[in-house]
Amino acid sequence: MQTDSSFTFVLFGGTGDLSMRKILPALFEAHRAGGMLADSGKIVAVARHAADRGEYLQWVNEHVKPHVSKNGVDETAWASFLERIEFVKIDLGNPEDFTLLRDAVKDLPGIRVFYLATGPSLFVPICRALASVGLNENARIVLEKPLGYDLKSSNAINDAVGEIFAEEQIYRIDHYLGKEPVQNLLALRFGNALFEPLWRREWVESIQITIAEELGVEARGDFYDNTGALRDMVQNHLLQLLSIVAMEPPHSMDSDSVRDEKLRVLRALKPINQLDIGKVAVRGQYHSGVIRGNAVPAYATEPGVKQNSTTETFVALKVEIENWRWAGVPFFLRTGKRLADRVAEIVVNFRSVPHSALGASALRAGANRLVIRLQPNETIRLYCLAKQPGEGMNLASVHLDLAFDQFFREGQMEAYQRLLLDVINGRLALFVRRDEQEAAWRWVEPILNEWKALNKPPKPYASGTWGPAAASAMLAQHGTCWLEEEN
């Protein structure tokens, strides 16, 4: 992916955690690779916690450099990367300071990209301040999640930003959509005649999507306690992955064709009502336990968490899609903190053979399945049955494995690197359109309301386990279980 597109990349929240761990390392990797970023492209960091460019570059050396290049840093590339970086000290609460930014970028080349790596409460004030000095024209704006607390607040932000930037200028980022296996899922389905005939209710028994974390809320207790797992992970990441898995073939890979098909899936989700919620939705909260041999505290004792908090740190859902392709196929979504492993994966369980001449083992659930691992190691693995060596017809599970780091010798592109290059080059397909976001909120909001009305505490689970037993019981009712493998 080479470009000669010149750009000025303005990074709000230039000393924040996201900039340190993800954004600046991703831009460095694109710079180091050569040809991905135009030589004339500039990065303008905006923050108030550094006095000048020299102090900011010192911060970058100290805090960002440890997060780049797993195999060591190319010092020549690092030095030339630092030459791209400019710095503007701004108090985001003072709109008059934005004249400093206007003056700093007025002579810099190319398309302007404004990345808002800040809290959502600052999105609208920043956009209005940019417009007040004319910086919204012919520019692109990148918004990080969370975009609102519910449908009403999300619409309020989108309305206000939409008054300043046109929809084609707005890039709502979901980094899971930039992961290599998600891209390969599209290639697998729409580039191979082998899979598309099987990708439907006649051949798929169930689908699981899991995003599990070992970490707790860490230092984000105050934020998380007002958010919870359903808003933090389901409304965006999990529903976006579900829409990618379940979408119809687009007529092309242009931005609106892909996002139109995702939207159709989100609008086809079967609503969860009060009568169903106890059967198809499980919410949990972690208690103390052990993670990799280390004792960890309960959520209720984490700094910033309110006393007797009923915020969920775990969600498991049974989801149905009311359309011709997927009618009757359960999609099981699961996410949580302080679980037994850090893993993100999509599991497609195919139906068993209708009759086995080879014994009962050929009829067991999960004998044929496709596992798309997003993290920590990115792989696609197809499981099937084969005869064991020796006498008799004894079957055993075997797999075909596409390990990207072994098959493709060139380095993989990290999700943020791909998405940032897409912003610079004006590609919207991997970003969330407003109507997608609204459809996701409309489906999630009744669940939030029902939980609030029921006023029941989340089910407890010990840290280091796979969550409440009710999540496993929900799948057992459908004759299946969560795939819980070691990495």
Where on the phi/psi map is residue 451: left (φ > 0), alpha (ψ -120 to 50), or beta? alpha
Question: What is the pairing mode between strands 369-375 and 379-387?
Answer: antiparallel
- Let me know: does 15 contact 85? Beta carbons within 8 Å: no
Burial pattern 164-195, b for ≥16 Cβ within 10 A else e, equals bbeeebbbbbbbbbbbbbbbbbbebbeeeeeb
Closest CA to 338 of 378, 375, 284: 284
DSSP code at position 233: I
The active-site residue, picked from 31, 63, 175, 237, is 237
Q: Is the N-terminal amide bond of 376 cis, ω within 30° of 0?
A: yes
Closest CA to 121 of 147, 101, 140: 147
Q: How far is CA 233 from the centre of its chain?
A: 8
DSSP code at position 134: T
Phi, psi (rounded to 5 degrees) for 89: -85, 120
Alpha carbon dihedral 225, 230, 233, 237, in 10-degree steps, equals -160
Within 8 A by CB and 6+ apart from 123, the residues are: 116, 143, 147, 157, 160, 161
Closest CA to 445 of 290, 300, 230, 126: 230
Cα–Cα distance for residue pair 138/50, rounded to 1 Å: 29
- CA distances to 88, 91, 103 from 100, rounded to whole Å, are 7, 11, 5
Q: Is the N-terminal amide bond of 146 cis, ω within 30° of 0?
A: yes
49 included as an active-site residue: no
Closest CA to 333 of 212, 203, 188: 212
Residues that are catalytic:
237
